[in-house]
Structure 1
Amino acid sequence: MTSNTIMTTILGGFLGSGKTTVLNQLLNDLNPQLRTAVIINDFGEVNIDSLLIEKGGYSKKEISGGCICCSLKAKLLDTLLQIVNEEKPDEIYIEATGLAVPWEMKQTIEKNFPSDLIRVKDVLVCMDARQCDRYHDRLPAYSRQFEGRPLVLITKADIYSLDVLEQTRVKLQKHYPGLTGFAESRSGCWKKPGTPGIPVTSPAASTGLFLFHPEMIDTGKDGIESLSLMGPLTGTVADLHQLIDENRPKVIRLKALIPFNKTVLSLQFDGSTISEQKAPENLDIKGQTVLNMFCMKEDMENLKEKISRLISLD
């Protein structure tokens, strides 16, 4: 490895686990002496996650309409090659989609780039304890994100009891003996284990490898579908809230950007909680509402019909 090696961080985690919040914090803490490039992947044709990343002293590239660990793998490699040749950064941050397998992305990069050119130094998997309880034993698309040796970043740790956090760590330690360790994020802020004053929380000895339970829905990614819509909001924000509330068991993840009182409102649903906040200024959504939604395949037709009543596609 030479001094010109590009140090790369991969940020993964399930739909609604808090990846974009964590990435914003990482980018706010950048070393101003380093040249930084950011790659943001989103399933939607309009990359909402990229729009929500705050502007700063770094370059940003978007990959939309699929997942860079599988269907858009070649696009990831092409984008990395472009960044290496044209920008020559010191570091790269890659935010994956909520259905990616981050360790597979690491292996893809290592197979296609020499280690003295690009080195993946960290693979972070954001994990919401509430989602782990809900999806881990049901969805292979959820559990596969822990493959390999990632560092698990427990997000939203400030809203859960210490008992819940410990139970979640114990569960993951049991199933995934290769994990690098655990860290906790509170309001998007965290410090990597091993930094001064931050102890390393390492997984305990495992009792065995993870096996799917017989009752698991063996769908993989193909059982979770995404819907992307862009058009005028014909209903109200309250109507959208009501639609989510009435369909909570079906909606896995929903995020929307909505023009509202000369600003843009960011509405997020992580499978449990609806939140709203003002989006970064100067977003170019052309006065349209942009919405990305994820659900199981069997629920898509019904949910699409309901959402289409609120967002005009004409």
Structure 2
Amino acid sequence: MKLIASRAVPTHIISGFLGAGKTTLLQHLLSQKPENEVWAVLMNEFGQIGVDQQLISQQQGYAVKELLGGCLCCSSQLPMQIALSRLLSESKPDRLFIEPTGLGHPAQLLEQLTEPHWQKTLDMRALVIVVDGSRLHDQAWVEQNLYTDQLKAAQIVVISHIDCMSDEDREAYLELKQEYKAYVRHWIEADHGIVNIQQLDMIQQPLQRKIQPLLKQQSMQANSEDVPAIKQLPYHYVETSQGYTVAGWKLPKRWQFKFYDLLDLLCAQQDWVRIKGIFNTDQGWKSFNFNPQQFNYKSVEESIDNRVEIICQSNQDWLLFETELLACRLNEAE
């Protein structure tokens, strides 16, 4: 369906983990709609029965559409494109909100909506992630891969349920801001989901992450060959944000690593701000959480993959690190 629009529609992605308070925030944002404007909402429910749409007022001036079943972030793009195209063509909104399921990967959705097809239609605003402040003390909750992936995609983080935060939550909040300062531009504490739309109405900074094959694979390619962007494991990425460089690797979960070799490698790194990882090792699944003050590692539940991420403020020899990382594998020849 070809879209014809006189101007690009300001578009906000309001994401966040399950139960974070996305719909409450969205309700307060919609209440700020000027009388002479039409605002639209595209909501995504992972299941087949929509509930959230019933919580959003259907009064004149709002257009709400639900996309049920699956996740619009990472499933086939066609249902999302059709639903979004119809919503835009039928409603002709002055502002658009998209609320993915709490199980979604908003970075993938943002990547889809910034493709050339949408650039003349959508004016993407800063991606918003809602975080439940009252659960920040729960390490098992905040260390989930999906939770951390959502935070890394955010340019604005809205902390909800601040009236229920304990001293432990407050301390964890300060640590969270420090940990994600390379990613998040603004933090907003929302009392009962109340946020002024102007606080969220800023341009989305271009994505600078490019997922590519492992550097070792790239070095074996002819220089004239274009390096493909990929999304299947194994892969690496390097991105820059706010003066920091973030390098990451995701590797298949079946790959197993020698724990002590891996620990030695991570401890030997220089000039970094943060190192975090989770690996399948010969000592069981282990997580690593290093900051300049302390090197922490512990046994954890099985993960969906092996992964490591290093944040620094200086150039590094990433090919050397990757080579040494792969040398820590058991059965490397597989």
Q: Do the structures match in fold with TM over 0.5? A: yes
5 Å-filtered alignment, 1:11-30, equals: 11-30=14-33
5 Å-filtered alignment, 1:156-305, equals: 156-161=161-166, 164-175=169-180, 177-191=182-196, 207-208=273-274, 210-212=276-278, 213=287, 215-219=299-303
The aligned counterpart of 1:101 is 105
Query: Deviation at 1:74?
Result: 2.5
What amino acid does structure 2 have at the position aligned with 1:11? I
The aligned counterpart of 1:61 is 65
Within 2, Cα distance between the matches of 1:51 and 1:126?
20
Q: What is the CA deviation profile of residues 216-239 of structure 1, one whole-angstrom value per residue up to 9, with x for unaligned ones?
A: 445559xxxxxxxxxxxxxxxxxx
- Scaled by the length of structure 2, the TM-score of the pair is 0.57
What amino acid does structure 2 have at the position aligned with 1:69? C
Within the alignment, does 1:70 sit opposite 2:136 as a pair?
Answer: no
Within 2, Cα distance between the matches of 1:85 and 1:117?
10
Change beyond 3 A, Cα 1:220–1:47 = farther
Query: Deviation at 1:148?
Result: 2.8
The aligned counterpart of 2:258 is none
Aligned length: 213
What amino acid does structure 2 have at the position aligned with 1:6? V
What percent identity do the matched residue pairs reach?
25
5 Å-filtered alignment, 1:114-153, equals: 114-134=118-138, 135-136=140-141, 138-153=143-158
Q: Which of 1 and 2 has higher RCO (CA within 8 Å, sep 6+)?
A: 1
Gaps of 5+ in 1: 196-202, 222-314
Within 2, Cα distance between the matches of 1:58 and 1:116?
22
2:53 corresponds to which of 46, 50, 53: 50
Query: Deviation at 1:71?
Result: 1.6
Q: Secondary structure at the match of 2:159?
A: strand
Larger radius of gyration: 2
- Scaled by the length of structure 1, the TM-score of the pair is 0.60
For the 8 Å contact 1:176–1:209, the answer to whether it is kept is no
Within 1, Cα distance between the matches of 2:142 and 2:160?
20
Q: Kindly report the root-mean-square deviation, in angstroms, between the aligned alpha carbons of the 2 structures.
A: 2.9
For the 8 Å contact 1:7–1:118, the answer to whether it is kept is yes
Within 2, Cα distance between the matches of 1:103 and 1:40?
16
For the 8 Å contact 1:139–1:217, the answer to whether it is kept is no
Within 2, Cα distance between the matches of 1:192 and 1:58?
16
Q: Point out the more displaced range, 94-103 or 71-80.
A: 71-80
